[in-house]
Amino acid sequence: MKRAFLIVALLALASNAHAANLPLNPDVTQQNVDETICVRGWTKTVRPPFEVTNAIKLRKLRERGLTEADKSRFELDHVIPLALGGAPEDPRNLRLEPWPEADRKDGVEVCLAHAVCAGRISLIESRRRIWKDWRAAGKACAARRATTAGARGY
């Protein structure tokens, strides 16, 4: 019994350590999702101004050897979206995403945010999944949605 408890405790510590390394908004926690990310329009209150994101986007384009002329081909994407409490201006959380891909990822972000707000997945698990592989996170979210059709959420 003690061994099982120790394993669970170690897994929890490792989980928290991993979460501490993710680019997150410290104002969003599992305990306050109903007052933050689950409130319609909340992301508008934390979204960085255009001037900030445009400067980051231009810098990231230059880092790739691209020019301002290429700007319209990409969205500056929050890897962990604001709707899951991702850090608004942390460069680790911002990347250039080609538009067709960005549109698909947006659907995954919505699915995960609805799942968190419905209590079907924890906030930290949704963040981990989208950070690791948004496509796999999308498949899992869509599969879970299909198996809970008619249930609250999603």
Question: Mind listing the pLDDT tens digit for each residue in 119-154?
Answer: 999 999 999 999 999 999 998 888 766 555 444 433
Closest CA to 104 of 141, 134, 81, 128: 134
Residue 6 pLDDT grade (very low, low, confident, very high; cuts 50, 70, 90): very low
Amino acid at position 8, single letter: V
Helix H or strand E segment including 98:
strand 94-98
CB-side exposure of 120: number of CA atoms within 13 Å? Answer: 21
Which residues face 74 on adjacent strands? 98
45 part of a folded domain: yes
Contact partners, residue 53, CB within 8 Å, separation at least 6: 76, 94
Q: Between 141 and 37, whose confidence is greater?
A: 37
1 part of a folded domain: no
**Count of beta carbons in the 10 Å neighbourhood of residue 14:** 10
Tell me how many domains the chain contains. 1
Q: Between 96 and 10, whose confidence is greater?
A: 96
Angle at 94 between CA 133 and CA 38, to 5 degrees: 75
Collapsed DSSP state (helix, strand, coil) of residue 24: strand
26 part of a folded domain: no
Residue 10 pLDDT grade (very low, low, confident, very high; cuts 50, 70, 90): very low
User: Is 59's pLDDT higher than 90?
Assistant: yes
154 part of a folded domain: no
18 part of a folded domain: no
138 part of a folded domain: yes
Q: Tell me what pLDDT residue 13 has.
A: 41
Residue-range definition of the domain harbouring residue 87: 33-147
Collapsed DSSP state (helix, strand, coil) of residue 62: helix
51 part of a folded domain: yes
12 part of a folded domain: no
Average pLDDT over residues 78-100: 96
